Amino acid sequence: MPVPQVVIVGRPNVGKSSIFNWLSGRRLAIVDDMAGVTRDRLTHLMSEGGRFFEIVDTGGMGVTDVDDLTKEVESQIEAALETADIVLFVVDAREGITPLDEEVARRLRYVDRPIVCVANKADAPSLDSQADEFYKLGRGKLIRVSAHQNRNRDDLIGLILERLPAPSEDGESLAEPEMKVAIVGRRNTGKSTLVNTLYRGDRVIVSEIPGTTRDSVDVRFELDGKAFIAIDTPGIRKTKSVRTDIDFYGMHRAQRSIRRADVVLMFFDASQSVSKVDKQLCRYVFDQFKPCVFVVNKWDLLVGKLPTERWVRYIRDSFPNMWHVPIAFITGQTGKNVKALLNHAQMLFKQSRERISTGQLNKLVRKAVERHPPPLYENRRPKLYYATQVSSQPPTIVLMCNEPKAFAPDYRRYLLGVLRDQLSFGEVPIKLYLHRRTRVDAQTRAQWADATIEDDDDVASPLDES
């Protein structure tokens, strides 16, 4: 199971980002009195009470963005709520209930997750009674805290730990779930044609007119006695070409389908070059840590005219940080190589759910460090103490060390490359965290490393031009 996510939501200026920084023990989010400062989701891995979980900061619900990005901010909030295991509904104990708080509470009625109502800015016990009115909202357990005064943090952490989903047991026997495959790409690459081929019928409309598919469509089909779900998605356009609500929500639904999917099939038209839209879409797949197959469709048009090796080199050069992604050449209209494509997608799905023992992982990391020790940092050699896999889908590995900043981005990429080469999930995304080993007590909080290697600001984007 993935690392549980604790999502912080609320109207603007109730202190969501302050709560995020306070819980993480680091100044990661910008805190400002101006509404709408936070737009994107911010994520930070934490360890409390023997459990790992991610806290997620979001923008203010109901804010009108000054740069006309209101739809994008709301889309980020919706995406966070979709993946949440626990929701922290933050309110202002000093201001009391506002109409916007009531609107947020109404929206959370449709969220089927544990909710904790966090009355922030209760700087002293004398203010606790003012927070009682938030019981009227009926949105989960109420707790009074103060990020500014460091008040009741342990109580809030305790409520979070009580509500986290139970950890899966190693060796637990689970029924094989249905694999959901999102078929994505720019317009007219043959996505709907493949869906009809899998369905063995005219399940979705196929047309030469760009933009025929306007919504995401789930299509159930069977292969070798196993059931699958194919998610047909609208073709993606350049951002500057998104001029209508239909275009905006089509893109929004395509992105949502990627988040829902177990494996993504990224479609290219064999007769066309890689475009900026392709790179933007791959960036989104990459950011979501989704197993992916690059699918070169309509290959029948180039058989005997262009060797597959040239297209492989072209794609590898276009996406240098996604070299682990397998490449398939198919003809969706006739079904050529489609079964092999689905078999490989099943393999990726299985890889994403695998777990490696701590002993095996430590042996591998130890050999990697002996072969190539980390460079000196401030005249001292940084140390890695041990490694452990904390979740799957995607495989998530935590390296305990003495100083995360001492491990430069290129050395982190080296370690990630070793993991890919040696472990059984080398073709799927891997989340890698560096964590400073410290003793956690009332005065000293665990200090976490920067975000995952793939998310490091100093690491080149997989979509940068070569």
The three-state secondary structure class of 3 is coil
C-alpha span between 391 and 52 (Å, rounded): 9
Output the average pLDDT for the chain.
80
The three-state secondary structure class of 5 is strand
**Domain membership flag for residue 152:** yes
Assess whether 145 and 186 both reside in one domain.
no
The secondary structure of residue 148, as a DSSP letter, is T
Assess whether 137 and 200 both reside in one domain.
no
Assess whether 346 and 204 both reside in one domain.
yes
- Specify the pLDDT at position 435: 87
Q: Judge contact between 460 and 38, C-beta under 8 A.
A: no
143-192 residue pLDDT tens: 999 999 999 999 999 999 999 988 766 444 444 557 899 998 888 888 87
Q: How many domains does the chain have?
A: 3
C-alpha span between 396 and 361 (Å, rounded): 12
52-70 residue pLDDT tens: 898 988 888 876 655 556 7
C-alpha span between 343 and 427 (Å, rounded): 14
- Specify the pLDDT at position 177: 58
- Specify the pLDDT at position 294: 96
pTM of the model: 0.66
CATH number at residue 398: 3.30.300.20
**Domain membership flag for residue 78:** yes
What is the token pair recorded at 397? 């590995």
Cα 71 → chain centroid: 19
CATH number at residue 132: 3.40.50.300
- Specify the pLDDT at position 216: 55
- Specify the pLDDT at position 155: 95
- Specify the pLDDT at position 40: 61
Assess whether 14 and 147 both reside in one domain.
yes
Q: Could you say which residues of the chain have pLDDT below 50?
A: 37, 170-175, 203-215, 241-246, 440-466
Domain that residue 235 falls in:
179-352
